[in-house]
A = this chain, B = another copy of it.
Amino acid sequence: KDEIEPKGGVKSFYTVQEERMEQAERSVLISCPSKTNEKKFMKYLSRHGDINKCFFYESYGTYAVVEFAHKESLTSLHQGTAIPSVNHEAAVPFKSRLLSLKNTGSLDQSSGQSAPLCQPQTTVPMNDLILRLSNESSIDQQISSLTEMHQLTEENVCLRYLVCSLLKDIAAAYFPECKVRPFGSSVNGFGKLGCDLDMFLDLDGISGRSLKKLKAGFSLEYQTKRSASERAVTQSILSVIGECVDQFGPGCVGVQKILQARCPLVRFAHQPSGFQCDLTANNRVAMKSTELLYLCGGLDWRVRCLVFGVRCWARSHSITSSIPGAWITNFSLTVMVLFFLQRRTIPILPTLDYLKELAGPLDKCVIDGNDCTFVSDVSKIRLQDNTETLEQLLQEFFEFYGSFAFNRMSINIRKGREQNKSDVSPLHIQNPFDASLNVSKNVNATQLERFVGLCRESAWMLQQREFNAPPANGAAGGTKAPWGLAALLSPSVSQAAGVKS
């Protein structure tokens, strides 16, 4: 179970985030020829200082992430780096920490170089996954195995922080004190390899600043552009950063400025990492809900496993989708799992109100008039002794939502119990930090019905002997018919439930 334990231990979310951001500041991303001798590469780079970490991966070519022990090494590295001189082409001479390694001289090609070991950055295809899960010996093991295969690797998390740090450099050109923080599934503990990278431009280091006013006499202020609203300022800033990313950002393609959205953002694909990126600003509540999910995922190892199991099941039947629409989002689905775990006879997760009660003075947090306070010190939280297995929990999850009174009741993780619905949306999941909002307002009746139908069908399947244990008579060494979680991921489930995907 060691690999599924939350990485951060008892460290708070912000502590982990600050540490990783600092590591990313000392890192560079280097595109390498496919056959690069790792040892020589490390030797070449170590002339700039000690290297803490280095790994390779594939994404439109071979790349290496190199983390130096000291920030000064980057200064040395930059001094030894040239602007490329290209024939028949012109280059924007913007210097970033995205570099290319050139190997001149034929010396290395002759000596039969091998490619460096590359860390996988994507998940296995669904068919392979089903085969692999079928070879496990229990449903509990299937769910654990799925989690291990899907969860973000240490290297992938490093790469996500590095991409944030590269983007921070672009923003810091104008706002030196800014930070770019990852949020959402990249850091909440529920991210799957390949998930998008949500970033938050944090300008609080600047704007919060005000000097002690002297009683009388002169003082100096920066002359600044004024706007009618914070929103307009956010739009201005994202507009410029979007333009910079588009025109200067190496490997940044398909840049879209979506400035009129409720939460204005810049969207682009970062080819060197393979990440689809969303940059927002002024989005503190999302940071806070990321922290809440991170905390919940760290309280009991079964939380993350069940979320990974349910998310994968939902994705395989197109209950969720990578494009926006009237379907349930991963975020809503995660909140539904958390709620289910609060509703166990012996609860596995505490209520948000309980987490708020435990909060210390430093945890106090009010955003736009909404109280978002909850405890950050996990050691204060007392949990009850629930011993249910993952198999039981998965079964119960399907039964719980297969018979939930969606028509009347709202899902509320703050209270940890259902409440009478306040609006007419088919699915109502109260926003944990703003009681007036419904996280799943986008979901229509058809999509909710599909979800409920699939829950019922899946609950039924897990009760059938042919599905809830490995087939005894599987051909020795051959492929077993899908069973357990593997069967739940197979198309037959939605067919049996009579649900069109």
Contacts and interface: CB of A to CB of B under 8 A. Distances in A.
Interface string A224-241: 111111101100110110
Given A107-B216, A239-B243, A239-B247, A222 B96 contact: yes
B216 A91 contact: no
A209 interface: yes
A47 to B, nearest CB: 10
Contacts of A251: 223
Contacts of A14: none
A30 interface: yes
Nearest to A205: B93
B223 A85 contact: no
Interface stretch (A76-84, A348-356, A418-426): A76-84
Nearest to A229: B90
Interface stretch (A98-106, A149-157, A332-340, A370-378): A98-106
A248 B240 contact: yes
Contact of A82 (B31, B77, B95, B210): B210
A213 interface: yes
A98 B221 CA distance: 9
A175 B92 CA distance: 10
B203 A93 contact: yes
Nearest to A272: B223
Interface centre among A229, A247, A249 (most CB of B within 10 A): A247
Given A174-B248, A244-B240, A219 B82 contact: yes
A89 interface: yes
Interface residues of A, number: 73
A81 B219 CA distance: 7
A361 interface: no
A224 B95 CA distance: 8
B220 A101 contact: yes
B90 A232 contact: yes
A230 B81 CA distance: 22
A31 B222 CA distance: 10
A217 interface: yes
A404 interface: no
A207 to B, nearest CB: 5
A96 B175 CA distance: 11
A206 interface: yes
B103 A218 contact: yes
B221 A84 contact: yes
A90 B232 CA distance: 8
Interface string A192-203: 000000000001
The 8 closest A-B pairs by CB, nearest first: A105-B216, A173-B173, A236-B247, A91-B224, A223-B250, A93-B206, A90-B233, A81-B220
